[in-house]
With several copies, the nearest count.
Chain A
Amino acid sequence: MPALPGAVPLLFVESVAGRRGADLRACGAPQPRAAALVGEELCREEIAGFPELSEPQVLRHFLRLSQLNFAQALQFYPLGSCTMKYNPVVNDQMAALPGFAALHPLTPAHLAQGALELMARLEGALAEITGMDAVSLHPAAGAQGELTGLLVARAYHRKQGRMRSKVIVPDSAHGTNPASCSLAGFSMTVAKSNRRGFLEAREIARLLDDDVAALMVTNPNTLGVFEPEIVEIAALLHERGALLYLDGANMNALLGVAKPGDLGADIVQLNLHKTFSTPHGGGGPGAGPIAVKAPLDPFLPVPRLKRTEAGWMLDSKRPDSIGRLRSFYGNFAMLVRGYCYIRALGTDGLALASRLAILNANYLRKRLEDLYPSATAEPSMHECVLTHDLEKRAGVSTFEVAKRLLDFGFHPPTIYFPLIVHGALMVEPTETESKETLDAFVDAMRRIHAEALTTPELLKEAPHTLPFSRIDEVEAARHPILRWRPEGEPQR
């Protein structure tokens, strides 16, 4: 038990036979043996290796583990494309209200009107923010929103009697976009970004044919650039009967700045855990609502909210719907948070949030441009992609710059993405960081640049001040150990 955060033994190693934590049984009369009731032959032995710990031990275990994490609430976390903004704690408090948290999903609608009303209001707000006609809160995350949107596109075309098989995706796209295309049964055609880092209408015109179901594009794109020809591109697509799918993961740049619907988008997914500030949870849960233009509404997944005389209900009788992609309707606990966030900021707050996010990104870009030039000359929106020449000059990689940043108490930016930029550092500061924090980050980045040239081993061996030194990821992949096994039992 070290003084400072440090290694914590695995649960299974801390386990001591016979020890126990919570006991959830009610006291009561002795009962018939459960195995006898269910059928002895159906029942297992006790689970060998399952942990046996007291409640204080369990709590200490996880609290000590928590001490090993960086997190937005504690550190600047400018992970590009992830929008690690401050998550107001009141939103967590609201989601935990028994009226929400203890509500069973199959509660009769008339006993769940508050939850349904909240979702209806959220759908309305997201429609207004995106400039779209209909919203489904169904998808569990951005990627599932993408899949949902693409299946909607497929169903729409099919209903029109067209069986289109291709989706155009720019080379700068986030990995989920091509993966979603495959999952939705489309083949993917790659559109090249131009040298300035955006998509030209020309390129789309070149690729467009009657087999193209949609173009899937992120805007601002992954270089942080607002796609200047997007309206023209949308027109081209629509002319050929194709749809514009807008990946809304970067909506944090567009609140009150541009509505995807006005840009010509037919489908857009939102990542509530980014733009609408639901906490990221170490990798979810998030929520990935999708919004569509009216003609696509019939194809949205079931269930859908429906207003009846008796109030709101969830309707699954929608013949053209693509069906469902999960149980129930949406990651409700995250929807509560997103709803509260929108209410708190309101019209002006949301518009200001995007503008401040853009301000912060451009401030960082400007203050670092001599050492880490932007990958594009275009103005940045809410994030900027930086480059450097340290590899050439000092044999120091982006990866090593990132590791060194840890020593300064900053979570590194997203690295090596977008793929079209060599050694990219994708920095998204978000609007909730103060100028002082940005300045401190600038100082660290500048100092690291100097170190790279003078003492590159400092970077190569970083981090130096964390509870763990460089962790061997190659070894992990080469000899995968994906679970604990009792001493003596071989890993398989």
Chain B
Amino acid sequence: MLDAIGVAQLDDLVASVPAELRARAQLRLEAGRSEAEVAAEASALAELNRGARGFASFLGGGFYRHYVPAAVSAVLSRAEFATAYTPYQPEASQGTTQAIFEFQTLIALLTGLDLANASMYDGASAVAEAVLMARRVTGKRRLVALARSLWPDYRETVQTYLSAFGDLETVEIPYDDTTGLLRLDRLESLPGKELLCAVAGYPNGFGTIEPLGKIAEIVHRHDALLVSATAEALALALLKPPGELGADIAVGEGQSFGLGLNFGGPGLGFMACRSEHVRQMPGRLVGQTRDRQGRQAFCLTLAAREQHIRRERATSNICTNHSLCALAATVYLSLLGKHGLRELAERNVQLAHQAATRLEQRGVRRRFSGPFFNEFALALDDPAGRQTIAERAGLLFGPALGESYPELAQSALISVTETNDSQQIERLCAALATREAP
């Protein structure tokens, strides 16, 4: 091959890089390892993560422990899906494009909105992109209202994405100290003409279910858009869909749908909106069309919104998104199906309410009274101390709320899913109700 090119040695090919730079580029890493050695080393690191096994876990706070059916990984590990790229050539990508089209449909059905995109990075960045999208829709307005009850990382991400825009201001809408729900009166009293959009969690960052319909009413009265943000996507199988309640853009995290935990990434940002706003939407979109023989087929479409066409005027810079995660969700949702998904959501509710009731009976009370799905905040004297006690008993729960909400220093979240059972709940009660000091 060197001969064909007409050079004598490999390094002649990089002669365009000054020799001095090349000399300095010598890497000081270790020597390469055999596959067996790499596997042994990675396995040893995995073993060090003692929190990944052997604990009964009630950890929530944005990523949820759900059983992932084996068929999900059987599909995801197909090389045809895993090692393809963005379906730029539709004739060679009908597997990916059709699956995305199915994903878009499933998200539209779950959110009660007209359509959804092919995926965003995660829930937090999807919220930020939704706010920017709302800005494109509503034009010159200035004010972004964020519920304080929205997940802290979602709020922070919005702040980061907006930090570049001097003309935008965020305002925080407090929550009611009793119910844990957004203060409607404070939303009402915003300077309406300046409001661009409001963002509310659904359920919110305390696991509490915001009255989305009432919020929408107020926001729409201001001619602004309502963005709903859902971290526990499973809730959408049971709760009224955000679109039906008036949300204009519904975003969230789809990790619950077959992704597993993976120490927090990758997640699956989803975004749904009304048809009339589609041209302001960020991200890939797959549309239905036909091939020359008239067969139904699918391809990327409305690319004029995107960076590779519109460049600095694109709706977003997103390029690589979380396509395989969207596929996981599509497989997961198909497997559970209409009934299985609903029943799973119900099971989560039942167990979480059982836990809340049992804790209450042992004198450990919910911090907020609002309705909840599978996660709720507890009032605890010393959350960190309790976490230590629990850990000794083989239990994990949290996060504690104090770091993000100084006013809730004596509170922590409990998430209960189908991976828990009554016996684990009793152990949790014992750990949280005992008088023992940490």
Asked if A and B touch directly (CB within 8 angstroms), the answer is yes
Contacting residue for B302 out of A42, A188, A480, CB 8 A: A480
- Evaluate contact between B63 and A328: CB separation under 8 angstroms: yes
- Evaluate contact between B32 and A183: CB separation under 8 angstroms: no
B17: Cβ under 8 A from any A Cβ: yes
- Evaluate contact between B349 and A117: CB separation under 8 angstroms: no
Roughly how many angstroms separate A79 CA and B86 CA in the complex, as a whole number? 10
- Evaluate contact between B119 and A284: CB separation under 8 angstroms: yes
B95: Cβ under 8 A from any A Cβ: yes
B433: Cβ under 8 A from any A Cβ: no
- Evaluate contact between A38 and B5: CB separation under 8 angstroms: no
In A407-459, the 8 Å CB interface with B consists of 411-412, 414, 417, 435
Nearest chain A residue, comparing its CB with the CB of B289 = A476
- For the complex formed, measure the closest distance between the CB of B77 and the CB atoms of chain A, giving whole angstroms: 7
- Cβ proximity bits B5-32 to A, threshold 8 Å, 1 near / 0 not: 1110011011111100110111111111
Roughly how many angstroms separate A327 CA and B335 CA in the complex, as a whole number? 27
A385: Cβ under 8 A from any B Cβ: no
11 residue pairs of the A-B complex, CB under 8 angstroms, read: A12-B102, A27-B37, A46-B342, A58-B335, A99-B47, A176-B317, A262-B24, A366-B5, A466-B91, A476-B301, A480-B301
- Evaluate contact between B163 and A7: CB separation under 8 angstroms: no
- Cβ proximity bits B75-116 to A, threshold 8 Å, 1 near / 0 not: 101111111111111111111101111101110111010111
Of the stretches B51-59, B172-180, B191-199, B361-369, the one at the interface is: B51-59
> Apart from A11-B102, A24-B343, A327-B253, what 16 extra A-B contacts exist at CB < 8 Å?
A20-B337, A65-B98, A89-B74, A101-B261, A105-B62, A112-B52, A175-B319, A228-B16, A257-B25, A262-B25, A282-B82, A322-B163, A328-B63, A358-B13, A406-B92, A483-B115
Roughly how many angstroms separate A84 CA and B79 CA in the complex, as a whole number? 13
B338: Cβ under 8 A from any A Cβ: yes
Contacting residue for B343 out of A25, A53, A117, A367, CB 8 A: A25
User: Residue among A33, A114, A466 with the most chain B CB within 10 A?
Assistant: A114
- Evaluate contact between A183 and B317: CB separation under 8 angstroms: yes
B4: Cβ under 8 A from any A Cβ: yes
Q: A38-B371, A53-B337, A103-B52 are in contact. Are A282 and B119 (CB under 8 A)?
A: no
Question: How many of chain B's residues have a CB under 8 angstroms from any CB in A?
Answer: 208
- Evaluate contact between B35 and A90: CB separation under 8 angstroms: yes
Q: A34-B350, A259-B25 are in contact. Are A25 and B338 (CB under 8 A)?
A: no
- For the complex formed, measure the closest distance between the CB of B94 and the CB atoms of chain A, giving whole angstroms: 4
Contacting residue for B340 out of A24, A340, A345, CB 8 A: A24
Roughly how many angstroms separate A59 CA and B110 CA in the complex, as a whole number? 22
- Evaluate contact between A71 and B81: CB separation under 8 angstroms: yes
A118: Cβ under 8 A from any B Cβ: yes
Q: A37-B353, A324-B157, A340-B42 are in contact. Are A92 and B82 (CB under 8 A)?
A: yes
Q: Which 6 A-B pairs have the closest CB atoms?
A: A99-B46, A328-B264, A185-B164, A105-B264, A114-B48, A111-B51
- Evaluate contact between A144 and B125: CB separation under 8 angstroms: yes
Nearest chain B residue, comparing its CB with the CB of A29 = B422
B139: Cβ under 8 A from any A Cβ: no
A206: Cβ under 8 A from any B Cβ: no
- Evaluate contact between B101 and A484: CB separation under 8 angstroms: yes
- For the complex formed, measure the closest distance between the CB of B419 and the CB atoms of chain A, giving whole angstroms: 9
- Evaluate contact between A112 and B340: CB separation under 8 angstroms: no
What are the residues of chain A within 8 A of B165 when measuring CB–CB?
185
- Evaluate contact between A327 and B80: CB separation under 8 angstroms: no
B438: Cβ under 8 A from any A Cβ: no
- For the complex formed, measure the closest distance between the CB of A313 and the CB atoms of chain B, giving whole angstroms: 13
User: Residue among B60, B71, B165, B353 with the most chain A CB within 10 A?
Assistant: B71
User: Residue among B60, B307, B391 with the most chain A CB within 10 A?
Assistant: B307
Nearest chain B residue, comparing its CB with the CB of A185 = B164
- Evaluate contact between A283 and B311: CB separation under 8 angstroms: no
A250: Cβ under 8 A from any B Cβ: no
What are the residues of chain B within 8 A of A87 when measuring CB–CB?
82-83
What are the residues of chain A within 8 A of B254 when measuring CB–CB?
none
What are the residues of chain B within 8 A of A96 when measuring CB–CB?
73
- For the complex formed, measure the closest distance between the CB of B313 and the CB atoms of chain A, giving whole angstroms: 7
B414: Cβ under 8 A from any A Cβ: no
- Evaluate contact between B312 and A55: CB separation under 8 angstroms: no
Contacting residue for A282 out of B151, B318, B327, CB 8 A: B327
Roughly how many angstroms separate A92 CA and B344 CA in the complex, as a whole number? 24
- For the complex formed, measure the closest distance between the CB of B402 and the CB atoms of chain A, giving whole angstroms: 13
- Evaluate contact between A25 and B347: CB separation under 8 angstroms: yes
A289: Cβ under 8 A from any B Cβ: no
Of the stretches B140-148, B182-190, B216-224, B237-245, the one at the interface is: B237-245
What are the residues of chain A within 8 A of B311 when measuring CB–CB?
175, 178-179
Of the stretches A237-245, A389-397, A467-475, the one at the interface is: A467-475
- Evaluate contact between B84 and A226: CB separation under 8 angstroms: no
